Amino acid sequence: MTVLADLATSTQVFETRESAVRSYCRAFPTLLTSGRGTTLVAEDGTEYTDFFSGAGALNYGHNHDHIKRQVVAHLEGDGLLHALDFHTAAKREFLGRFGQEILEPRGLRHRVQFCGSTGTDAVEAALKLARKHTGRSQVIAFSGAYHGVSRGSLAATADLSLRKVAGTALGEVTHLPFPVGPRGSFPTMDLLEQYLTDDLSGVDVPAAVILEVVQMEGGVYRIPDADLRHLRDLCDRYGIVLIADEIQAGCGRTGGFFSFEQAGVVPDLITVSKSISGLGLPMSLLLIREGFDSWEAGDHPGTFRGNQLAFVAACAALDLWRNQAFLDRARAGAELLRTFWEDHPLPGVEVRSEGHAIGIDLTHAGGRRAADDVVAHCFARGLIVESTGRDKAVLKLLPALTMEPDVLRRGCELIHEALLTALSR
Ligand SMILES: Cc1ncc(COP(=O)(O)O)c(C=O)c1O
């Protein structure tokens, strides 16, 4: 009783003092106080298994011991916390290691630009740079895309409910159907090829094509490798900048470090954020392919470009990528997720597995109502999972790559039980 009364009092404080823009705390009415590994703890002592991971910002879980220790050592050693874009030791360490350990082994000869504290800012930078580099303004994006909510990035985001709050025209971006959808494949790349070669179209060649190789907010859809290669070829032929938005799908979430790796395609610009800093600290990067860095000094400034603490945490997170136990755990976890959902089919439900991202599509089996029921059922039993997609009818499972196999399995079992209940209604 006391706990409920306390929560009601806390909620009242929020209701009167906090702007109406909030959303996650409405879906998950609890007051969180701490997190360790893949467990969140609320003020009333309730523990939640986290199948949400800060929408992909916590691929290594909460307060990962090794990462946290490096951050604490930096603080205790009076390491810099803020330095605008001066050179610093922490930045040099990150740049050197990210280049040597992540980019070079993947054949990526990209420069790194530090952007502001959000993924959105990296997308803004990418779109601006593509326009500056080509001297053109049109951009192609895809249905179902999510690239952020500032004016430039929002123009590339497809979600109408988000776009309509812009209060102004969001021009210069054309959305094509994403090549894979619930109703089968669209010949999008053929249409794009025709659009580019048709003399009668009278439409300028675009500056850029921006895409998520695995659409995450869109409902966990991967563009087929052949379509991505076709797109790369069209961009080469017409001098179009290919931008891969890896903000949610990257940092190991969907298999390799980057989601485009398996297609053998090299994007010109790559946006990275969310889990790059390891602990959920604000950090975003734009990776710029050789020959595409048309910036001049001061072209894209920002006070919080290059968070020193995030450099330290990001280096510690890179340590995990050379730790065999971490790699084995991540590989086994992805396999467990894939086989669990293959072994537990449900009528009318499509499950899409991409590493540690699972989309359980209820569009043709109960829709949003069923998805809402599953989210509520799981929350009441101590598991946090969210729904996404155009009609919020896709459950998106994003457990940390570090989650113990038995916790992963129990979480899936609970979601499966919740689905059986929701679909029988
Ligand atoms: C693919 C993608 N791009 C861009 C963004 C925007 O990042 P942020 O919310 O940090 O601004 C997101 C956020 O979810 C995302 O998933």
pLDDT tens sequence across 222-279: 999 999 999 999 999 999 999 999 999 999 999 999 999 999 999 999 999 999 999 9
pLDDT > 90 in the chain, percent: 85
Note the pLDDT tens digit of each residue in 328-374: 999 999 999 999 999 999 999 999 999 999 999 999 999 999 999 99
Closest residue by Cα to atom 13, ligand 1, is 148
Closest residue by Cα to atom 4, ligand 1, is 147
pTM as predicted: 0.96
What residues does ligand 1 touch, defined as CB less than 6 Å away?
55, 118-120, 123, 146-148, 212, 216-217, 245, 247-248, 273
pLDDT, residue 3, reads 52
Confidence at 181, pLDDT banded by 50, 70, 90: low
Which positions ≥6 away from 72 have C-beta within 8 Å? Answer: none
Distance from the CA of 114 to the center of ligand 1, in angstroms? 16
pLDDT, residue 196, reads 86
Distance from the CA of 407 to the center of ligand 1, in angstroms? 27
Choose which residue among 153, 210, 247 to substitute to test ligand 1 binding: the one with the highest number of ligand atoms within 8 A of its C-beta. Answer: 247
Cβ atoms of 188 and 176 within 8 Å: the answer is yes
pLDDT, residue 5, reads 55
Q: ∠ CA 39-42-47 to the nearest 5 degrees?
A: 40
Q: How many helices (H) and strands (E) does the chain have?
A: 14, 19
Closest residue by Cα to atom 9, ligand 1, is 119
Confidence at 199, pLDDT banded by 50, 70, 90: low
Average pLDDT, the chain: 94
Distance from the CA of 275 to the center of ligand 1, in angstroms? 11
187-214: average pLDDT: 83
For the 66-320 domain, the top CATH level (class) is alpha beta
List the domain boundaries for the chain. 2-63+324-423, 66-320
Distance from the CA of 45 to the center of ligand 1, in angstroms? 31
Closest residue by Cα to atom 8, ligand 1, is 119
pLDDT, residue 180, reads 77
221 closest CA partner among 374, 351, 403, 364: 351
Q: Is the pLDDT of residue 127 over 70?
A: yes
pLDDT, residue 184, reads 45
For the domain made up of 2-63+324-423, give the CATH fold.
Aspartate Aminotransferase, domain 1 (3.90.1150)
Confidence at 198, pLDDT banded by 50, 70, 90: confident
Choose which residue among 59, 115, 120 to substitute to test ligand 1 binding: the one with the highest number of ligand atoms within 8 A of its C-beta. Answer: 120
**Of 15-24, 51-60, 141-150, 168-177, which range is least confident?**
15-24
198-217: average pLDDT: 84
SS3 (DSSP) at 92: helix
* Secondary structure in 3-state letters for 30-57: CCEEEEEECEEEECCCCEEEECCHHHHC
pLDDT, residue 228, reads 94
pLDDT, residue 183, reads 42
Q: Is the pLDDT of residue 2 over 60?
A: no
Q: Is the pLDDT of residue 318 over 50?
A: yes
Distance from the CA of 261 to the center of ligand 1, in angstroms? 20
Distance from the CA of 177 to the center of ligand 1, in angstroms? 20
Q: Looking at ligand 1, which atom is closest to the CA of residue 148?
A: 6
198-216: average pLDDT: 83
Residue 412: count of CB within 10 angstroms of its CB: 21
Distance from the CA of 274 to the center of ligand 1, in angstroms? 8
Overall size of the chain counted in residues: 425
Q: Which amino acid is at 162?
A: L
Closest residue by Cα to atom 7, ligand 1, is 119
Tell how strand 269-272 and strand 241-245 pair up. Answer: parallel
Q: Is the pLDDT of residue 288 over 70?
A: yes
pLDDT, residue 297, reads 94
Q: Is the pLDDT of residue 136 over 50?
A: yes
